[in-house]
Every structure is written in structure tokens, then in C-alpha cells.
Structure 1
Amino acid sequence: MKYITVLFIIIALLSCSSTKNITENTSKNIKQIKPIKVDTVVVNKEKNNVILEKNNIDPEIKKVPEKIKSTKNFDHSSWDTLLQKHVSNKGHVDYKAFKTNRNELVNYITYLGNHIPQDSTTKEAKLAYWINAYNAMTIDLILRYYPIKSIKDIKKPWEQRFWKLGEKWYNLNEIEHQILRKMDEPRIHFAIVCASFSCPKLQNEAYTELGIDEQLTNATKEFLNDPERNTISKNSLGLSKIFQWFAKDFKQTGTLIDFLNQYSDITISDKAKKNFIDYNWNLNE
């Protein structure tokens, strides 16, 4: 009986030792498991940028959508400042005062010359770039000859090649007809300004990549519903000659009336009679 008791004690001790070893080994294995580091993505809502905090994020996650990664291809802020300073809410330009800031205007055009659109540039950014370029160059053209009463006092004003963008010298005709009109956006005709009273008014803000669609819509509505430039009723239209000169551009997806009804405050009849108003080339000041 004594030997049996001793045998049970030995078995119990061996059992406890084995359990202890299993527990210790399990504990060691648990300690060897390293915590997984999860990289975080912080979104800056004000700048609409995505910031990756770590460099060891999966390569596929690093591919941030282009529209988030790049919200502005060009900096038009200096042009915006000049417009706010020298252009009224009604589009009247103070050329005399503008001339005192011509250096800033030339610097902006030089900036455009050093930062031209690429094939990968968005259509929105290209539209904003070329509209701003056209308007800035038109202002510069007037300032070169000011004081004058009309842009037509300048010999062949739209053929003057005063401005170099990239490796090429441009004139206003080329920007309008060879670049902007080929972008199939008829609303550009209400954004580019020929420095004349009958033109659409020069907006006192720069066009931007992110705001271009709304800006073009607003400019179109404002011009079309301006009684000094167009007279519209259900059955009768007195239209700016812009609609005659560039009729093809406004018929890309329907008739001229179809286009007008998208932006007119009055619903125009398909059978409305139309005529075109004489153009006033006096300076828009």
C-alpha cells in the first residue's frame, strides 16, 4: 500500500510538470506574435487631399484617384486678384487703373507661358486655362494701345502675336477658333470677351478647373437674359450676333431654340421669329 501511494504521488508530479511546460510554451508563442500595424489614411477636407501616414501601405491602396490627388492644375489666383480689383460686377473694366498693374498682368501671362496644358490635363483645366489666357491677352492688347475707344481701333487686333505660351507665339483668333471651339463647348462664347459693350461681360473672377461648369452656365444665363444684349419672348427673339456668327456651335445637339431654352428664363416657342441685333464695339469700360 505504501508503494502504491508513492507511485500516485510521482504520477501527479509528472502531470503538473507537463501542464506547466505546455502553458509556458503557449505563453511564449503568444508573446512572439507581433501586433499588426494598421496604417491610417487622413483626409484633409479643406484641401480635398488624401495623406498616407505610412510608407508600407499596400501599393494598390497608394493609388489615390487623380481627381483627389490633383485638384488644381494651374494657379490663376493672380489673375483673379486683378479682375476683382479692376472689373465691376457689371463687367465694366477700369483700363486706366488696370494699366498701373500691367506688370502683374504680364507676369500672369508669363506664368501661363511656362505652364501650358498637357495631353493628360483634364478638359476642365484646359477650358479654364485657355479662357483665362484669352481674356488676359485681350486686356493686355487694349492696355498696349490705351486710351482707345474700341478694340477695332487696333489694326487686325485678333491677329496680333504678342504672347508666347510654351514654344509658340499665339494670337486671339488661334486660341478661340483652333483651341477653344474645337473643345465642343459652346458656352465658351459667353466666357471669352472681346473688350466691347455687346460682348458678354468680363466676369470679375478667374475661371477654375473645379468651378468651370457652373461658371460657364452662369455666364451663359447671365448673357442670354440680359435685355441690353438679347430681347427674348415666347414668340420673338432679338439675339446677339454671336448666335449668328457661331450658329454651328449651338446646334451640336439640336436646334438653336433647344440650346436657348436650356438657359433662358422664358420658354421659347420652336416657331419663334428671330432677328440679330447690331453689335456695339465700344470699349467695355
Structure 2
Amino acid sequence: MKYRLVFIILSILTNYAVAQHKTSVDSTNTNITEVDSILKKNTIVTKRFLKEHELWDELLQKHVSNDGKVNYKSFKTEHKKLLDYIYCLSLMHKSKYFESFSKTKKIAFWINTYNALTIDLILRNYPLESIKDIKDPWKQRLWKLADLDYNLDEIEHKILRKMNEPRIHFAIVCASESCPKLQNTAFTAENLEEQLTKATQEFLADTSKNEISENEIKLSKIFKWFKKDFEQDGSLIDFLNKYTAIEISDKAKKSFKDYSWDLND
């Protein structure tokens, strides 16, 4: 009931701006200023809305299966709710309260933002067979509302990777079969450690993406592309052994599996 009240209030604040977002993201500065002024009077409501990323959590549970398959067709019927959530993210990022976020809260914020923007990107172009059917998908600038003037590349490489948390690579999802599965619950600061550990363990245990034995490992190319990220506190094998049930030998033969960019639907 509390969530419904929060959503109704925020919908009133954001409906006009979201409508503008669909047509012209460059003409909203005046409206953003007006909404942000109203927002300051509703700080508790807004902070509560984003505290547990409740709307995003609801959308994920409705349209993403336990094994990470995304029903984009059904998700598209609630595209408006997704845009509302993205707009609220942009307002929160712009506000002074964002500066006081802890590191864990910022990591959860940016993981959810990356995944929400990726879903939005797919829905804007759906139906399609692969994210690579979209021209320069990770460089698109579609979310200029407020100060959320980022593309997916920047969120991943200039924000999340610089937080020195390699497990983010198993939490952010590029809408493809060989990516880690999209978790069907939102990431939160309170549960981040447990959620990142779970996502890492699940990814490594998925034999379609990684094949692990004591003396031979066939790994996702994620471990090739971002090798340095996994060697911050030791070798790649050291990292893997923290999250696998099998103890991998330091001398294990290593290779990388083909990467499928087919849509994760």
C-alpha cells in the first residue's frame, strides 16, 4: 500500500517529463527545474521510492524468469513504468542526496541503472534478435533527462569498473545469451554483498558459460576482456577459487568459450 502511494505521487511529478522524454530529450530543462523544485518538498517520498528500487524490483519479478530469461513482449506493455523509474533515477542522481550515498549504495544504484537502460534500449527497438542489431548500442545517448547524460559504456567503464568491485561484471547484463543472467530482483545496498556473491557463483556454475575442473577451465570471454579487473588481489585462478566449488589448480589449462550475442529472451 505504501509503495502504491509512493508510485502515485511520483507519477504525478514525472508524467509530463516522461512524455517529453519520448519525443525530445533535449527540451526538458525548464520542466526538470520545476519538477526538481517540487521534489525537494517530497524528499522522504523520493528517497523511500529509490531506497529499495521497488518499482524496478516489481518489473523484474513480473517479466524476468528465475533463469534470467526476459519476456520483452510483456515488458513492453509496461514500458511507461520503466520510463518513470529511469526518470526518477535521473532526478535522484541530480539531487544533493546522491553525494551522500555510500559506495555500496552507489554500486547498487548504477547496476540497476545500467540494467534498466539496457532493457529500455531493447524495448525501443523490439522486436530484434540481438542487441548488436542496434547501431552502437553501448554508445546511445537516449537518457538526457536531468543529469543522466550517460551511455552504457560510460556507466560500465567510467563509473562501475572504477569502483574496484569485479563482481559487477556478473550483475550488469547486456541482453545477450552469454551474458550473466539478469537477476529478477533489484540490487540494494543492504543486500549487495550477498547479491554479488550469488550472481558470481551462479555465473561460474552455469556450464553453458563456464566449464570448470581442477586441471582445465573453459571460461566466458568476460574473463578475457576484463582480465585486469579480476587480478586486483591475486591471479585469475585465485579469484575463481573464491566462488567455485571445485579447487582449480594454478597450472590448469585455460581457454575461452564462444560468446553468443543472441537476445536473452
TM-score normalised over the length of structure 2: 0.79
Percentage of matched positions with identical amino acids: 62
Whichever residue aligns with residue 56 of structure 2, its letter is W
Structural mapping, 1:77-116, within 5 Å: 77-116=54-93
Which has a greater percent of strand? 1
Structural mapping, 1:135-214, within 5 Å: 135-164=115-144, 166-214=146-194
Gaps of 5+ in 1: 1-69
Gaps of 5+ in 2: 1-46
Q: Which residue of 2 aligns with 1:269?
A: 249
Q: Distance in 2 between matches of 1:148 and 1:222?
A: 27
Specify which structure has the bigger relative contact order, considering alpha-carbon pairs within 8 angstroms and separated by 6 or more residues: 2
Q: Which residue of 1 aligns with 2:206?
A: 226
TM-score normalised over the length of structure 1: 0.74
SS for the counterpart of 2:206 is: coil
SS for the counterpart of 1:274 is: strand
Q: Can you list the C-alpha shifts for 1:181-224, whole angstroms capped at 9, x where unaligned?
A: 00000000000000000000000000001001100000000001
Moved over 3 A (4+): 70-73
- Quote the offset at 1:265 in angstroms: 1.3
Backbone CA RMSD of aligned residues: 1.5
Q: Which residue of 2 aligns with 1:283?
A: 263
Q: Which residue of 1 aligns with 2:20?
A: none
SS for the counterpart of 2:255 is: strand
Whichever residue aligns with residue 76 of structure 1, its letter is H
Q: Can you list the C-alpha shifts for 1:232-257, whole angstroms capped at 9, x where unaligned?
A: 00000000000000000000000000
Q: Distance in 2 between matches of 1:115 and 1:222?
A: 31
Whichever residue aligns with residue 239 of structure 1, its letter is L
1:236 aligns with 2:216: yes
Tell me if the contact between 2:52 and 2:186 (Cα under 8 Å) persists in the aligned partners.
no
Tell me if the contact between 2:91 and 2:147 (Cα under 8 Å) persists in the aligned partners.
no
Tell me if the contact between 2:92 and 2:98 (Cα under 8 Å) persists in the aligned partners.
no
Q: Which residue of 1 aligns with 2:51?
A: 74
Whichever residue aligns with residue 175 of structure 1, its letter is I
Q: Distance in 1 between matches of 2:144 and 2:68?
A: 27
Q: Which residue of 1 aligns with 2:39?
A: none
Q: Distance in 2 between matches of 1:101 and 1:270?
A: 48
Q: Distance in 2 between matches of 1:209 and 1:102?
A: 25
Which has a greater percent of helix? 2
Tell me if the contact between 1:72 and 1:210 (Cα under 8 Å) persists in the aligned partners.
no
Question: How many matched pairs?
Answer: 216
Q: Can you list the C-alpha shifts for 1:125-149, whole angstroms capped at 9, x where unaligned?
A: 1011000000000000000000000
